[in-house]
Structure 1
Amino acid sequence: MLEGILFFPVTPFTSDDAIDLRNLSDHIDAGVRAGAGGVFVACGTGEFHALDVREFTSVVRTAVETVGGRVPVFAGAGGALPLARQYARAAEQSGADGLLLMPPYLVRGPAAGLVAYVRQVVAATSLPAVVYQRGTARFDVPSALEVARLPGVVGLKDGTGDLDLLSRIVTAVRADPAAGGREFLFFNGMPTAEVTALAYRGIGVDLYSSAAFCFAPEIALAFHRALTTGDDSTVQRLLAGFFHPFVTLRERVPGYAVGLVKAAVRLRGLDVGGVRPPLTDPAPEDLARLERIVAEGRALLDPVGVHLP
C-alpha cells in the first residue's frame, strides 16, 4: 500500500487566516511529482490540531483531487472521541484512501481505554487506519496486538522512540496471523525521522515520514536512496551536514517541528503563511540559521548526484 518517502504537507493559511487551497494544491502536486510514495494530509505537520471539520474537509478534498490517484492519500483524525469519529467520516466522504489516527489530546488513558478509543473511531468508517503511538497514546505489547487485530487497522506509527518496546511489538504482531502478520505496516514517526532511521531499520521498521521532504525533497530523496542502498558514507554526510543541525535548531523552541518546516517551505518560494497558535513562527535569528542549514544541506548533494525529476 505504501512505500518510499511519505509526504506530510503543511497546511497553507492566507493573511486573513483562511485555508489557501490553491497553494495547498501546488504544494502537494510538487511533492507527488518529486517522488512521494504517499501523502498524509492534515496530520501533525499539517496542523490537524488547528483545523475545524469544515477546514479539514476542504483540505482533504483538495489533496485527493490534486493527487488524482497517483499515490495513496491518508488524512489525520484524532482528538475527542466524537470529533475523531466526525473527522474520520469526513475523510472518507472526501475520498481519502486511509486514516492516520492520532492520539486523544490532554488525557492519558490506560491501554484498555486506548484500544476502545481506536475501536470506536475505526468503526465509524470503512477506511484503513494507521494508529499513531505518541504522547498520550502508548501501547504495551498485549494492547498493540489487540489494536492490530481490529478490522480496518493496517499499521502502527511510532513516535515514542522506545525501540525496546517497539521491537517486542513488531515481533509479536508479525508472528500473529490474526494481526496481519508481515503485511501489517510499521512506521518510524519520530520528528525528523531520518535521524533515527538507521535504528528503526535495525528492528525491521523501514517506513518513515519525512518532514524535510516538504521543503528540501532533493535532500530527503538523496538520504532515502542512500539509506536503502547501503550507501553509509552519504547517510552519514547528510546526517552530519543537514539533519543533525536541523534537529539542534528544532529543539530550541517547542513546536518548531512544525514552525521550522513551514518557514522552510516559504523560503523555497511558496507562501504557505505562518502557523496557528499555540505554535509560533521562527524568530528572525532562527530563520536565518534555517536558511543556512538548508543551503549547506543542498551543497552536500553535488557529490551525491541526486536531482529532482
Structure 2
Amino acid sequence: MNFSGSICALATPFGVDDALDLDAFARLIEHQIRGGTQALVVAGSTGEAHALAADEFDRLLAFAIERVAGRVPVLAGTGTANTHKTIAATRRARALGADAALVVTPYYVRPTQEGLRRHYLEVAEHGDLPIVLYNVPGRTGCDMLPATVAALAPHPRIVGIKEAVGDVDRVKALLALARDDFSVISGDDPTALRSLALGAAGVISVANNVVPALFRRLCDAARAGRADEAADLDRRLQPLFDALGVESNPIPVKFGLSAIGIGTPRLRLPLSELSQPHRGRLRELVLNLQDAAVA
C-alpha cells in the first residue's frame, strides 16, 4: 500500500452539546472528496483523538469509512503512549474497515530509540494493519531519528512515515530510505513544498481541511516538477499556514472550517476556541482562498 499526494488530517466537528457532529463531518468529507484529496486521516491529532472516548472513535471511524465508500483510502489514528493499547486500537481500526493506521510516537513517556523500534515492530506484527509511522516531536516529547526509521522501514507492514520535522537534512535522510513500498510524507504545511521538491511522496496536511482544491493543486504541481506554479501556490497559501499556527492545532482550523459553514469552532477542554484577535484575519484568509479555488 502506497500513500501519496494530498492527504487531509481531518478535524472532528463537535456540536453545541459537545457531541460528535456527524452531519458536519459528512460535509467535511465531501468537501475533501470534491477538492481532490487523495486520502483521509480520521482521529489523528488534528481530529482531537485525545478527547474521544473509545465508542466515539468507533463511531467516527465507521461513519467515515461508510461515507467515503472506497473513494479514497482512510487511515485511522491509533497511536497511544502504550504499546498494548496501540495494538488494540489498531486491531479495532482494522475491524472497522480502515485501510491503514497512522501511529504517532508514544507521547509523554519519552521512550529511547530502542523503545521506539520495539514499539513499532510490535504494532506492525500484531496490529493487523499497514502502518504509517508519525514523528512529531513538538507534540510528543520524543524524536524518532532516521537511523531508527531505517531499522523499521524493511518491515512489510510499515509502509511510510509522516515526518513533521521540516529540517532539510532530516527530510533528505529519510528520503534515502524511500522505496515503492515505503513513502516519506511531509507532516508540516509551511515546509511541505520544500519536502515535495526534494522527493517526498505527499503531505498529510492540516490546512487541507479548509482549502482541499488548492492544496491538491500544490501537490500536483510540485510532484510534476512545475516549480513556478508550485511556488506561486505556496506563496498564496503561506499566510494561511501562518494563521493556522497562531494557537495550538486544531484550534485555528476548526474556526476556519466554521467560517465556510462546516461545523462549529467548538473544541473539547483543555482546548478552547480561537482567541478573538485572530478570528477576523483567519476568516478573511479562508474566504478569499475559497474564491481563489473556484477561479
The two structures have a TM-score, normalised by structure 2, of 0.89
Contact 1:197/1:206 (CA < 8 Å) preserved in 2?
Answer: no
- Secondary structure class of the residue paired with 1:187: strand
Structure 2: segments with no counterpart, 5+ residues = none
Q: For 2:109 and 2:280, how far apart are their aligned partners in 1?
A: 37
What's 1:148 paired with? 153
Counterparts of 1:140-179 in structure 2, within 5 Å, are 140-171=145-176, 173-174=177-178
Counterparts of 1:116-155 in structure 2, within 5 Å, are 116-135=118-137, 136-155=141-160
Higher relative contact order (CA 8 A, sep 6+): 2
Q: For 2:226 and 2:157, how far apart are their aligned partners in 1?
A: 36
Amino acid at match of 1:100: L
Amino acid at match of 2:3: L
Q: For 1:187 and 1:169, how far apart are their aligned partners in 2?
A: 10
Q: For 1:278 and 1:24, how far apart are their aligned partners in 2?
A: 22
What's 1:227 paired with? 222
CA offset digits 1:263-299 (Å, max 9, x no partner):
1111111224512222222122211110112234345
Amino acid at match of 2:269: P
What's 1:213 paired with? 208
Cα shift at 1:35: 1.4
Q: For 1:73 and 1:222, how far apart are their aligned partners in 2?
A: 21
The two structures have a TM-score, normalised by structure 1, of 0.86
Contact 2:207/2:241 (CA < 8 Å) preserved in 1?
Answer: no
Cα shift at 1:124: 2.9
Cα shift at 1:11: 0.7
CA RMSD of aligned residues (A): 2.1
Cα shift at 1:215: 1.4
Cα shift at 1:232: 4.0
Aligned residues: 290
- Whether 1:29 and 2:30 are equivalent positions in the alignment is yes
Amino acid at match of 1:3: S
- Secondary structure class of the residue paired with 1:19: coil
Contact 1:50/1:276 (CA < 8 Å) preserved in 2?
Answer: yes
Q: For 2:28 and 2:164, how far apart are their aligned partners in 1?
A: 25
What's 1:177 paired with? none
Instruction: Indicate how the Cα distance of structure 1 residues 292 and 37 shifts in structure 2: closer, same or farther if over 3 A, else same.
Output: same
Amino acid at match of 2:90: A
What's 1:258 paired with? 250
Q: For 2:16 and 2:286, how far apart are their aligned partners in 1?
A: 25
What's 1:178 paired with? none
What's 1:249 paired with? 243
Instruction: Indicate how the Cα distance of structure 1 residues 244 and 166 shifts in structure 2: closer, same or farther if over 3 A, else same.
Output: closer
Question: Which one is further off, 93-102 or 283-292?
Answer: 283-292
Amino acid at match of 1:262: K
